[in-house]
Amino acid sequence: MNAIDLNTADIGSSLPEVTFGPISRATLALYAGASGDHNPAHIDIDFARNAGLPDVFAHGMLSFGVLTRVVTQWAGVAALREFGARFVSITQVHDKISCKATIIERFEAGGETRLRLAVVATAQDGRETLNGDAVVALA
C-alpha cells in the first residue's frame, strides 16, 4: 500500500524515499549496455584520465531513472504526465543516492486534477546531484 493516498495527499507531504547504490563500476557498465549510452567517460578509466578526469563518473540518466521511481512507485507510471531534472553535480563511483519527492502544488490541467512534486537526489555526504519536478494525474 502507498504510505500516502494519492487523492487526499496534502501539499508538503513527502513520498517514501528510494535509495540506490553504492554505485559500482559494474552498475555503470550495465547501465551503458542497457541504455545504449556508450560514452566512454562512464566506463573507461583510460579515457577519463586522458580527458583530465580523476575517474569515470556515473551517467546522469542512471540517477534520473532511479529518481523517477520515487514518483512512479507511489502514483503508478500511467499517472505520470511530466518529469524533469537538472544535473547539478556529478555522481561519482561508490556514491549512494537518496531520492525524495514532496508535493508542492495541486492544479487543474488537461481536464484532470494534477499534483506537482519537487524531486531531489542527494549523495551520502548531502551533496545534491539532481533536482527537478514531476507532474502526476489523480485517478
Partner 1 sequence: MDATTARKGIFDRSTKGTQIEPVKVLVERGRIRFFSQVLGQTDPIHFDLDAARAAGHPDLVAPPSFFMVIEAAANEERKRLGITTAQELVRVDYRYLLHGEERYFYEAPIYAGDEVEIGIVITDFYDKKGGAMEFVTFESRIVHPERGLLVRSQRSLLHRLPEPRS
Residues that bind partner 1 (CB under 8 A): 20, 27, 30-31, 33-41, 47, 50-52, 60-62, 64-66, 68-69, 72-73, 76-78, 80-87, 90, 132
Contact 78, 90 (CB under 8 A): no
- The minimum distance between CB 74 and partner 1, in angstroms, equals 11
- The minimum distance between CB 137 and partner 1, in angstroms, equals 10
Identity of the residue, 20 or 122, whose beta carbon is nearer to partner 1 in the bound complex: 20
How far apart CA 20 and CA 122 sit, in angstroms, is 10
Identity of the residue, 10 or 108, whose beta carbon is nearer to partner 1 in the bound complex: 108
Whose cell is 507531504? That residue is: 13
Q: Which residues pair with 87 in a beta bridge?
A: 130
What are the CA-CA distances from residue 87 to residues 33, 60, 72, 127, 135 (Å)? Answer: 21, 7, 20, 12, 19
Identity of the residue, 12 or 52, whose beta carbon is nearer to partner 1 in the bound complex: 52
- The minimum distance between CB 17 and partner 1, in angstroms, equals 13
